Structure 1
C-alpha cells in the first residue's frame, strides 16, 4: 500500500524530516513564541514594576505622591 505522499507524486524521503531538522524547527518556533510573550510582559509590566518598587522604598510615599508629577 502506497503512502499518501507517494500518491501525490512526492518521494517519501521529501516529506520526512530528520530528527535534527525537527528539533531545529521546534526550537525556532518556541524561541519566537517566547520572545513575543516576553515583549508583551515587558511592555505591560514596566510601569507596575516601577510603582511597586517606589511603594517599597524609604520614605514610603502615598500612591498619589508617587503618581503626581511634582
Structure 2
C-alpha cells in the first residue's frame, strides 16, 4: 500500500487531509470484493485531537472511483 497526503490543513485541534491511496485489497474493501487489481483513490479525512491523541475521525472515500476500477478490470484469473 502507498499513500500520499497531498493537502493538509490544521486549525486549533483539527487537521484535514486529502490522501491519495494505491493499494491491492486482499479482502472485502468498502463492501466490494477484491479481484487482484491495484486501486487508486482519494480520501478526505478530518482528525480532531484531545490530550495529544486522536479523539474523532470523519472520512470520505471516493467509492465511485473504486467501483469503476473494479468493474473495468473484471475478475483476475
TM-score, scaled relative to structure 1: 0.30
Greater helix share, structure number: 1
Structure with greater strand percent = 2
Q: Over alpha carbons, which structure has the higher Rg?
A: 1
Structure having greater relative contact order (Cα 8 Å, sep ≥ 6): 2
State TM-score, norm by structure 2.
0.27
